[in-house]
């Protein structure tokens, strides 16, 4: 039973480290993607609204993924809840930041989140493999 507990704890810690690292990387990439899409749609070209919007998403992602990782160990459920919250809260915030109607901001936010979802899957896989290789390398020595 102790060995099984240590194995589960090891996975939770590995998942939490991966969640935090990937969230920070996606936060940085998200600022540039948000600004890029805002420029393409003739919105505010400054970094301020992009940073504010991505800080919201960073907070939601880290909070929900970490909570669900420790409580229910359900990353898929955390993904669905945080994605929906990011869409609706992000759309409301984007409508205020970019002075647009909610529906227009909803489409804007969904575009950004689809890009970030694809990039997040790739970055998450790469970070997970790197962390796994580091841990395997440390246990071999």
Number of H helices and E strands in the chain, helices first, is: 4, 0
pLDDT of residue 4 exceeding 60, the answer is no
Q: How confident is the model at residue 5 (pLDDT cuts 50, 70, 90)?
A: very low
Is the pLDDT confidence value at 66 over 60?
yes
pLDDT in tens, 26-39: 999 999 999 999 99
Non-local CB neighbours of 16 within 8 Å, separated by 6+ positions? 66, 69, 70
Q: What pLDDT, on the 0 to 100 scale, is given for residue 1?
A: 31
Distances (CA, A) of 77 to 80, 84, 86: 5, 11, 14
pLDDT band at 7; cut points 50, 70, 90: very low
| Of 7-21, 32-46, 106-120, the least confident | 7-21
What confidence category does residue 92 fall into, taking pLDDT thresholds of 50, 70 and 90? very high
For residue 97, the model assigns a pLDDT of 92
Q: What is the pLDDT of residue 75?
A: 67
Question: pLDDT value at position 55?
Answer: 95
pLDDT band at 72 (very low <50, low <70, confident <90, very high): low
Query: Residue 47's closest CA among 61, 63, 28?
Result: 28
User: In the 3-class helix/strand/coil scheme, how is 34-101 assigned residue by residue?
Assistant: HHHHHHHCCCCCCHHHHHHHHHHHHHHHHHHHHHHHHHCCCHHHHHHHHHHHHHHHHHHHHHHHCCCC
18: DSSP letter:
H
Longest Cα–Cα distance of the chain, Å, equals 59
Average pLDDT, integer, range 9-13: 63
Separation of alpha carbons 66 and 78, rounded Å: 9
Q: What span, in angstroms and rounded, lies between the C-alpha atoms of 22 and 119?
A: 10
The per-residue pLDDT for 90 is 93
């Amino acid at each position: 039973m102790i060995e099984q507990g240590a194995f589960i704890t090891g996975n939770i810690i590995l998942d939490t480290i991966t969640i935090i690292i990937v969230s920070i990387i996606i936060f940085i990439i998200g600022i540039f993607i948000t600004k890029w899409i805002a420029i393409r749609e003739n919105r505010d070209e400054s970094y301020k609204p992009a940073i504010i919007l991505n800080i919201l998403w960073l907070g939601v992602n880290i909070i929900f993924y970490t909570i669900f990782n420790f409580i229910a160990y359900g990353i898929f459920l955390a993904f669905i809840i945080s994605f929906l919250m990011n869409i609706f809260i992000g759309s409301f915030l984007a409508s205020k930041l970019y002075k647009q109607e909610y529906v227009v901001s909803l489409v804007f936010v969904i575009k950004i989140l689809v890009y970030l979802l694809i990039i997040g899957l790739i970055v998450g896989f790469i970070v997970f493999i790197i962390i796994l290789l580091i841990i395997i390398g440390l246990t071999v020595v």
